[in-house]
Structures are given as C-alpha cells and as structure tokens.
Amino acid sequence: MTHLRPVPTPKPRISAKLRAAMDYRVRGATITEACEKASLSPAGWHKAMKRPAVRDAYEAAQARFIAEAEGLRAVAKVRALEVALDLMLNAKSESIRARMAEFLAADAKVSPVAVHVDARQIAGAYEYRRPGERVVEIQQAPHEET
C-alpha cells in the first residue's frame, strides 16, 4: 500500500535587492529612486510585483512601517502630555497654566482647521474647446434709427 503525502509548497524566494527596494518604497521613495538605491532595475521591480508572494511581502512591509509610525506617535503623545502637565503645574504665567489645563482636559485634541473651498464658477473664465467643436457667438444686432 502506498502512502501519499502532499508536497509542501516551497516558500517563494525574494531577493535582498528587492526587499531593500520595497523598504525604500514603503518609506516614501519613488519606484525609480527605490530601485536605484537598491541596485535593481525598474523593470525587475514591476516584473516582481506581478507575483502574489512579492505583493504579500510588500503589504507586510507597509504594515510594519505603519506599526512603527504608530508606536512613535504614541511615544510622542505621552511626551507631549508630560510636558503639558509640567507646564500646567510649574508655569509662572496664569494663561499658560490655563491653556495647559484646557489641553489636558480635551485629551490633547486640537481643534480642526477650517478650510474654505470656493466651488463657484466665475463667468468669463477660460473654457476648453475640443477639436472639431463649433463655437457660436451671439451678438446683438445694431439698432437703426428711423
């Protein structure tokens, strides 16, 4: 009697150059810059990104980077709260102590910035005329005096 065992699928190999390029890309470099820093051709990057294993590794690198950034943000927030508490307790200025009390009471939230966007269309602005499109201008007829 034969015993059949499934053959384990081998873990896909991702080169060190490609891993370095993915790391540079995740940290904000363009694809061209990342490939140049990692000594990888842009064509090699695009060819590799078609493989599902490489895309999964790239997404994992993005997730690691986001986790690092969130960790740094948490540390910075704790430090800001420590400084605000110190200012609230030890500042000589009454207004600074009051502001720090408000800051700490609001749980270190800042007020949102008001952004004004004007979406009105202004008459007489430039208009694009597509090739082959007719433009008709209507003019008033001159009045004749009798």
Give pLDDT tens digits for 80-89: 889 988 988 9
28: tokens are 């904000």
What's the confidence (pLDDT) of residue 146?
57
DSSP string, 29-61: --HHHHHHHTT--HHHHHHHTTSHHHHHHHHHH
Is 92 or 146 the better-scoring residue by pLDDT? 92
Residue 3 pLDDT > 90: no
Give pLDDT tens digits for 97-117: 888 888 888 865 666 667 777
Give pLDDT tens digits for 33-66: 999 999 999 999 999 999 999 999 999 999 999 9
